[in-house]
Amino acid sequence: MIYVVHRNNYVLKILDSKFQVVSFETQTSITTTLFSIAEAFPKELIIWCHEVYVDFINESPILDIFHHKRIIASYSVSNNTYIPNQIGYVDQSIFIKVNYNVTYPTWLMSSDIGGIHAELLNTISKAISKFSNFDYFINSLAKITMPQGVFCYSEPKLLKENTSVKTEVKQASKYELFKFVKQHYKWFWAFMLTFCFAVFEKKWTLLPLIKSIFNKKNNLDLDKIEVKSNRQIINKKEVDVIIPTIGRKKYLYDVLKDLKKQTIIPKNVIIVEQNPDKNSESELDYLLTETWPFKIKHTFTNITGVCNARNLGLPKVESEWVFLADDDIRFENNLFEASFKKIETLGISVLNYLCLQPHQQQTYFNTSQTIVFGSGSSMVKTSIIKNLKFDMVYEFGFGEDSDFGMQVRNKGTDVIFIPDIKITHLKAPMGGFRTKIKKLWDDEKVQPKPSPTIMLFFKKYFTSFQVNGYKTILFIKFFRKQKVRNPYTYLMKMRKQWEQSDYWSSILMENKND
């Protein structure tokens, strides 16, 4: 392990794993020094640290934090970032509003303390711009590599808990922000950033926009870096399955048949059957008439809704792992065997599978951190979701699976997309909302847009800048899909709908807290 101690964008000294000074010729910037060290010590983990935090480095968890070679982690002691909050105008992902109290997935990096494996630096050395501004470089590095399979985190465990010293975080200028957006997003977003500055902050940023046009992007190939985690995640290769179902007898039967064929048979299959008819009984006769290699825990309820159904199923889980499934999916007979291999290799606790409808084509092929959580296509370590529930405020709306995924992330556990384990989602025509559910806002003359549950999700997990960015994109996209062609009339209409959504999302939250 090599420590690079710096101050004001210059390297002060290089230390070994015992914090002894290493005789090494430093370069003109921290960035170039990192690459030189990586070349000289290709098998080492390299930790950068501002001089004021050297005495607070938390050594014991470092090897667990960087448990394989495709990890970049850092921590901002002040909880501020070099990339300013206005990045939210163009980036509406869950990676922007960082929970600094836990291990949290984000490409927003800090120069306070962080680390990267030398092999990763050597692999990208010829393909990435070595910016002399170290803060700009590490944020650029993480932003480029995250979608290509590097796991990036804010990691408070890098420093001891009693760390009280804080350095001042210098934020990027508007020119640097526009440069960053042009280099790491599609060209449209630089214009979007200018527009949002003008609308929400009454600031004109034409010069930064013009200057950013001449910046270029980078492309990397990380396939050469082997991923082999040193974490021990699996104690028992046992899994339970939770399946909510309503009116899909035949489709559920096929799911059970797929489970029956698994090379690793699930221990329990937890079925929550719903039927709103008070006089109804279970239609799933095959649960009793056929023999199954797993224990079936069957619950029948007249209360409909997937949030309630999954919440009824969660306390019944006994195994170390749980597969959250839908009642209209199909999968190969090695689903769990392949999943456990991925868990061992990557050292992860939450898998989100590739889940496509029969007519859809796969377009993304990198194992990577994801903004998605599929409540019908994920496998989770049971201890992670202990005491978690699907939020009933989303029942019969949208966003319950995304909200559950955010609950998982805010407990310090990442969600990883697995592109080579496929689930087919048949989108069965029966089931789902069997009867029309009357929403609180259905009788309103002005209907909310977006859905109040989507608005609620944004208000809970996104910054105000991201909400404004989402609002702008929504207004632009919806203009061509409706009949009002007068821009002023359209804007007034959409503002009223947005205000309605904001109002009803607040009512939903109040009802939840009652």
* 257 and 221, same domain (yes or no): no
User: Is the domain of 65 the same as that of 93?
Assistant: yes
461 belongs to a structural domain? yes
**pLDDT value, residue 305:** 93
For strand 239-245 and strand 321-325, is the pairing parallel, antiparallel, or unpaired? parallel
Count the Cβ atoms, other than its own, within 10 Å of residue 309. 25
DSSP 57: B
Within 8 A by CB and 6+ apart from 269, the residues are 240, 241, 243, 256, 259, 292, 294, 295, 296, 297
* Residue the block writes with tokens 């002060």: 12
381 found inside a domain: yes
In contact, 440 and 504? CB cutoff 8 Å: yes
Q: Are 455 and 448 in contact (CB under 8 A)?
A: yes
Same domain, yes or no: 213 and 90: yes
Specify whether 226 is located in the same domain as 299. Answer: no
d(CA 367, CA 151): 10
Q: Identify whether residues 252 and 224 lie together within a single domain.
A: no
pLDDT at 262: 98
Q: Report how many helices (DSSP H) and strands (DSSP E) the chain contains, helices first.
A: 15, 16
Best CA proximity match to 24, nearest among 45, 5, 49, 52: 5
438 found inside a domain: no
What's the confidence (pLDDT) of residue 127? 87
**What does the DSSP assignment read for 252-272?**
HHHHHHHHHT-SS--SEEEEE
How far is Cα 151 from Cα 73, in angstroms, rounded to an integer?
8
Residue 214: predicted pLDDT? 57
Quote the CA–CA distance of 153 and 228 in Å, as a whole number.
Answer: 18
What does the pLDDT read at residue 356?
95
The answer to whether residue 445 is domain-embedded is no
Model pLDDT, residue 212: 62
Q: Which two tokens stand for residue 123?
A: 């692999």
If asked whether residues 314 and 380 sit together in one domain, one would say yes
Does residue 133 sit in the same domain as residue 9? yes
Is residue 223 located within the same domain as residue 246?
Answer: no
Which residues lie across from 73 on neighbouring strands? 115, 153
244 lies in the same domain as 226:
no
Q: What residues have CB less than 8 Å from 228, skipping those under 6 apart?
A: 68, 345
Q: Which residues of 474-499 are buried (b: 16+ CB within 10 A; e: fewer)?
A: bbeeeeeeeeeeeeeebeebbeebbe
Last residue of a domain, one of 230, 257, 274: 230
In the DSSP assignment, the letter for residue 427 is -
Evaluate whether residue 435 is within a structural domain: no
In total, how many domains does the chain have?
3
Whole-angstrom distance, CA of residue 382 vs CA of residue 390: 15
Count CB neighbours of 217 within 10 A: 12
**Among 163, 196, 230, residue at a domain's last position:** 230
Q: Identify which of 385, 389, 400 has the alpha carbon closest to the alpha carbon of residue 460.
A: 400
Q: Where a domain ends, among 230, 249, 273?
A: 230
Residue 454 CA to residue 398 CA, distance in Å, equals: 6
Domain assignment present for residue 468? The answer is: yes
Q: Are 459 and 325 members of one domain?
A: no
Q: Could you count the other beta carbons within 10 Å of the beta carbon of residue 215?
A: 15
- Do 30 and 110 touch, CB atoms closer than 8 A? no
pLDDT given at position 445 = 94
pLDDT given at position 432: 45
- What was the pLDDT predicted at 34? 96
Domain hosting 138: range is: 1-230
The pLDDT assigned to 433 comes to: 45
Q: What is the DSSP letter of 88?
A: G
pLDDT of the chain, 514 residues: tens digit per residue: 999 999 988 999 999 999 999 998 887 799 999 999 999 999 999 999 999 999 999 999 999 999 999 999 999 999 999 999 999 999 999 999 999 999 999 999 999 999 999 999 999 998 888 999 999 999 999 999 999 999 999 999 999 988 878 888 889 999 999 999 999 999 899 999 999 999 999 887 877 677 666 555 556 778 889 899 999 999 999 999 999 999 999 999 999 999 999 999 999 999 999 999 999 999 999 999 999 999 999 999 999 999 999 999 999 999 999 999 999 999 999 999 999 999 999 999 999 999 999 999 999 999 999 999 999 999 999 999 999 999 999 999 889 999 999 999 999 999 999 999 999 999 988 654 456 788 899 999 999 999 999 999 999 999 999 999 999 999 999 888 888 888 899 999 999 999 999 999 999 988 776 5
Tell me, yes or no, whether 350 lies in a domain.
yes
Tokens representing 314 are 């969660």
Q: Are residues 211 and 255 part of one domain? A: no
Quick check: 87 and 96 in contact, CB under 8 A? yes
H/E element, 209: helix 206-212
- Residues 55 and 186 placed together within one structural domain of the fold: yes
Q: Does 444 fall in a domain?
A: no
